[in-house]
Amino acid sequence: MNKTAVVLLNLGGPDSVNAIHPFLFNLFNDPAILKLPLLIRWPLAKLISTLRVKKAKDIYLQIGGKSPILSLTNQQGKALEIILKQKYSGVIKVFVCMRYWHPMSQEVSQAVKEFNPKQVVLLPLYPQFSTTTTGSAIKDWYKNAKKNGLNVPISTICCYPIITGLIEAHAELVTKAYKIAETMGKPRIIFSAHGLPKSVIQKGDPYEFQVNKMAKAIIQALNVKELDWIIAYQSKVGPLEWLGPPTEQEIKKAGFEKKSVVIVPVAFVSEHSETLVELDIEYAEIAKQSGVRSYQRVPAVATHPRFISALGNLVELAIKKRSGVSSFNGKVYCLSDFNNCPMFKEYLGGC
C-alpha cells in the first residue's frame, strides 16, 4: 500500500514549568542559534538557559505555565490530514515534530519509520525560510532519521511566504481588526516578525526578504487606499544588533502620533508566548501607556480553512516532486544574493 508521511516542523515549547529550563538549553545549544564549537556552545547554553529561566517562567506562568504550541500544531495537523485524505487514495498520516521540546525528531522519525511510508514530506510551519528555524529543523530531522534507519525519499517545502491561501487568511483576519481600530481614526498596521541578528541576514539568510514580500502581499490583498503600515521586529535577545525597527518602538511612535494600531504577527502561524504574552500583554501595556487610541492584535492564522488548504497544496507539490527541496511554487523564489536559500545550493542533498 502506498503510504505517505507528512511531518509538520515547528519550534516547540515547554509543556510544564519543569520543562522550561531544558527547553531553553535545547534552544541555545542549537548550532544554528549559537554558531560556536560544541565545547564552547554547550557550557554557554547551560549558562544562558540558567540565567534566563526565571524570566521565562514568569512569561509562561501568565499563560498557564506551559506553551500551547503543541496542542495548536496538533489541531493544524488534524485539519490538514482531513483535507489530504479527501485528495488522495493512498494512506497519508500527518506527524508533528518539534525542534526544542517533545515530540522531537528522534522520537518522531522512529514513529514515521514504524508507519513504513514510501515517501516523507517535510512541511515547516514557518512561512519564511531561515537557517535558524526551517534550516535547523531540517538538519535535525535528517540527522535523527538517518540514526533511526529511515531511508525513504524526503521531499521538503522550504518556504511559502506569499502562497495564496496564507495571504487570504491573513487579509481576512487583518480586515476584521482594522475595521475595529478605524472607529478611533485611521490605523497604522504594524507587521511584527520575530527578529534575528543582522549578522545572520548578512550571511545570506533570506528571512528578512521573505518577511517583506509577505507583508507587501497582504497589503495588496487588503486593497485599502493610502494604507499606513510598517514592518517591525520583536523578541530581541542578547547584545548583537538585530533587525529593526523594534516593534515596541513603533508602538510608542504610533501613540505619540495619536494613532490606532493593528498588530499582525506575520511570522507566526500559531499562538505561543511571543503572541500571547509579548504582543497581548507586554506590548498592549506599552500601547496603553503611549497613548495608542486602539490596540488590535490580529490572531495567528492557526486552522483558518484557507491556510490549511494552502498547506494541502504544498503537500501535493512535494509529493509530485518525490524528493529534494522546493519553494511554494516549485521554483527558485529568493534573489541570487541569498546564498543560504536552500534552492541556491544543494541543501542536505536536496534539490
Tens of each residue's pLDDT in the chain, 351 residues = 789 999 999 999 999 999 999 999 999 999 999 999 999 999 999 999 999 999 999 999 999 999 999 999 999 999 999 999 998 888 999 999 999 999 999 999 999 999 999 999 999 999 999 999 999 999 999 999 999 999 999 999 999 999 999 999 999 999 999 999 999 999 999 999 999 999 999 999 999 999 999 999 999 999 999 999 999 999 998 889 999 999 999 999 999 999 999 999 999 999 999 999 999 999 999 999 999 999 999 999 999 999 999 999 999 999 998 888 989 988 778 876 787 777 555 444 433
C-alpha cell at 290: 503611549
pLDDT of residue 349: 40
Question: What pLDDT shows up at residue 216?
Answer: 98
Predicted local distance difference test score (pLDDT) of residue 233:
98
Task: Write down the pTM of the prediction.
Answer: 0.95
Task: Give ∠ CA 64-75-54 in degrees, rounded to 5.
Answer: 25
- Chain-centroid distance of CA 76 in Å reads 13
Question: What pLDDT is stored for residue 345 in this prediction?
Answer: 56
pLDDT (0 to 100) of residue 347: 43
Q: What CATH number has the domain spanning 164-297?
A: 3.40.50.1400
pLDDT of residue 246: 98
Element (H, E) at 293: none
Q: Which residues pair with 347 in a beta bridge?
A: none
pLDDT in the model for residue 351: 34
Hey, how many other C-beta atoms are within 10 angstroms of the C-beta on 43? 11
Phi, psi of 25 (to 5 degrees): -60, -45
Give the 3-state secondary structure of residue 160: coil
pLDDT for res 100:
98
Q: What is the pLDDT of residue 90?
A: 87
- Residue 336: per-residue pLDDT: 67
- The pLDDT score that the predictor gives to residue 348 is 40
Q: How many residues does the chain have?
A: 351
Please list the residue range(s) of the chain that carry CATH number 3.40.50.1400.
164-297
